[in-house]
Amino acid sequence: MSFIENLSGELSSKELSELIERVLPDEKLEKVLLIHPDYTRQDFSDRLVPLVYEHLKKRGLKILHTLNASGTHRAMSEKEVRKKLGLYKEELVFFNHEYANPNALTTVGILSKEFVSEKTMGDLEEPLPVTLNKLFFEKYDLIIVLSGTSPHESTGFSGGLKSIIPGIAGPDVVGLFHWAAVLIGIPRIIGSENNPAREVINEACKIAFEKVNSPVLFLNMVYEETDNGILAKGLYTGFDLEGSLKAYKQAVKASQRIHIIYLDKPVKIAVQVIGENYDEIWTAGKGSYKLQRPGVLVSNGEIIIYAPHIEIFHSNPQMDRSIREIGYHCKDYVKEFLKKHPKFDLNVASHVINVRGDGTYDPILKKEEFAFTVTLATSIPKEECEAVGLAYRDPRSIRKEDFQSDDCLWIEHGGKFLYDLKREA
């Protein structure tokens, strides 16, 4: 495992290039697959990938395949991919991951009933197939997996093997690790290095790597979003399964220092200003996730997701319908719902719990109570917000100057940083 970092400044292109030169295999690399982050990640892929491409050409690159590790997000256009990767004229073969297309997937193994039961605290008791994109198992001279690490609601931190699962995985294993995370709860998962969801990812990837036919190089970015753009803070590299775990662990240490903001006292209202790279509530929900650490909000506080550009809950019509069918509820409500609808998508079930946050549900009285309110200030109409259990504010009524008091928090780079309350030493 090799890495470079500059947490107090920024890595130069020269430093990045030298590390890439050092870690790329010194042999013919004619056919390469690049698995890369999607449009929801604002990182320094556009700086890094041209450097990678340059060094691959020196090693005889003839064809570069690119695979968008989109998980359950929407597909990217060629224009979006080229902008993301900073490769505007180079010859590329583009692929979008199709998580719901059985023809694009292959089953590489099974997670045992006992393992599934353990990681879901007995909530699920059936074996689950590990399905991944077929491209990952084709013969390449090298596969490069590019990712970024920051606090994540379902895996503790993003990056590393998360680019494989859920990045290029099928729906069953994606639903499992999301559900495992939900059962523990966002406040306890997010910002943790090791947790049941990560254990699901690691175990499934262990199965997958037994079938991989190519060397796999992981490039794990750590970066900071500022008003002046993205600052490259660290790049952590490793080969295959063990190398990826070591690189991820080192990246987590850096992310803990950069991406967690500590507050002096709880706030009453927090406004998350969501950027246009999050274009649906499915991804903009991070604006709720990252404020759910205990003590960040006062009792009955409010999280406002301010994103006038968002018009939908999910870009996939089926998943959008599923969200509207179940609505946004607490875990206890959703577990009761699943008893009556056992085939319901666990990925959607996890999402609605994660966004709505902690609460209780009395199945006899059919009454829910929540720790805080989640409000959408988007282009989704008032009646549609309320129909799924979320509050509504007209986005035209949101003004920064109205949220500048001591008990309010205005967050420009919404959904990017994890907030926590300062604890006494």
Final residue belonging to a domain, choices 258, 281, 305:
258
**Within this chain, do residues 249 and 284 fall inside the same structural domain, yes or no?**
no
Tell me what pLDDT residue 425 has: 55
CB 299 within 8 A of CB 293: no
Pair (88, 229) in one structural domain:
yes
What average pLDDT does range 208-235 have in this prediction? 94
Residues 247 and 267 in one domain: no
CA 160 to each of CA 43, 163, 425: distance values in angstroms, whole numbers, following the listed order? 14, 6, 32
Residues near 75 by Cβ (< 8 Å), separated by ≥ 6? 68, 96, 98
pLDDT at 32 over 60: yes
Q: What phi-psi label fits residue 407: left (phi over 0), alpha (psi between -120 and 50 degrees) or beta?
A: alpha
pLDDT at 123 over 80: no
Mean pLDDT of all residues in 67-94: 93
With a cut of 70, say whether residue 79 has pLDDT above it: yes
Whether 413 contacts 275, CB under 8 Å: yes
> Does 226 score more than 90 pLDDT?
no
CB atoms within 10 A of CB 342: 6
DSSP state letter for 306: E
Cis peptide before 171 (omega within 30 of 0): no
**Residue that terminates a domain, selected from 206, 230, 258:** 258
> For 71-80, 385-394, 399-408, which range has the lowest pLDDT when averaged over its residues?
71-80
pLDDT digits (tens, 9 = 90+) for 335-374: 999 999 999 998 899 999 999 998 999 999 999 999 999 9
115 in the same domain as 17: yes
Partners of 234 in the β-ladder: 5, 222
Residues 204 and 153 in one domain: yes
Domain boundary among the residues 258, 276, 310 is at 258
SS3 label, residue 165: coil
* Residue pLDDT, tens place only, 88-107: 999 999 999 998 899 999 99
Burial 351-384 (b: 16+ CB within 10 A, else e): bbbbbbbbbebeeeeeeeebbbbbbbbbebeeeb
Res 41: pLDDT: 81
Query: Please, which residues have CB within 8 angstroms of residue 321's CB and are 6 or more apart in sequence?
Result: none
Q: What is the CATH number of the domain that holds 381?
A: 3.90.226.30
Q: Are 62 and 184 contained in the same domain?
A: yes
Name, in order, each residue with C-beta under 8 angstroms of 296's C-beta and a sequence gap of 6 or more.
263, 266, 267, 270, 419, 420, 421
Three-state DSSP class for 158?
coil
| Structural domain boundaries enclosing 13 | 2-258
CATH classification at residue 54: 3.40.50.11440
pLDDT on residue 107:
95
Rounded Cα–Cα distance for residues 287 and 112 (Å) = 35
Beta bridge partners of 230: 225
Most confident of 89-103, 154-168, 378-392: 378-392
pLDDT of residue 182: 84
Residues contacting 269, CB < 8 A, separation 6+: 301, 302, 304, 403, 407, 408, 409
User: In sequence order, what are the residues at sequence separation of 6 or more whose Cβ sits closer than 8 angstroms to the Cβ of residue 203?
Assistant: 111, 115
Same domain for 244 and 282, yes or no, is no
Same domain membership, residue 272 and residue 250: no
Q: Buried b vs exposed e over 21-40: b needs ≥16 C-beta within 10 Å?
A: eebbeeeebebbbbbbbbbb
- Whether 231 and 309 map to the same domain: the answer is no
Domain count, the chain: 2
- Same domain, yes or no: 240 and 319: no
242 and 270 in a single domain? The answer is: no
Sequence letter at residue 118: E
Give the pLDDT confidence score for residue 424 in this predicted structure: 65
Q: What is the pLDDT of residues 228-260, one digit of tens each?
A: 889 999 999 999 999 999 999 999 999 999 999
Would you state the pLDDT for residue 338?
A: 94
Q: Which residue has the higher pLDDT, 22 or 41?
A: 22
Question: What residues form DSSP beta bridges with 63?
Answer: 31
Summarize the confidence of residues 138-165 as an average pLDDT: 94
pLDDT value at residue 172: 81
pLDDT of residue 236: 98
Q: What is the pLDDT of residue 188?
A: 82
Query: What band does 322 get if pLDDT is binned at 50, 70 and 90?
Result: very high
| Least confident among 182-186, 403-407, 411-415 | 182-186
Give the other-Cβ count within 10 Å of 234's Cβ.
22
pLDDT tens-digit readout, 169-213 = 998 877 777 887 888 788 888 899 988 888 888 999 999 999 999
| Average pLDDT over every residue of 262-267 | 95
Q: Do 294 and 391 belong to one domain?
A: yes
Percent of the chain past pLDDT 90, that is, above it, reads 79
Q: How far apart are CA 209 and CA 355, in angstroms?
A: 33
Residues listed for the chain: 425
Q: Using one digit for the tens of pLDDT, what is the confidence trace for 295-304?
A: 999 999 999 9
φ/ψ bin of 143: left (φ > 0), alpha (ψ from -120 to 50), beta (otherwise): beta
| pLDDT mean across residues, the chain | 93
What gap in Å lies between CA 416 and CA 411, rounded to an integer? 9
Question: Residues 240-257, buried b or exposed e (16+ Cβ, 10 A)?
Answer: ebebbbbbbbbbbebbbe
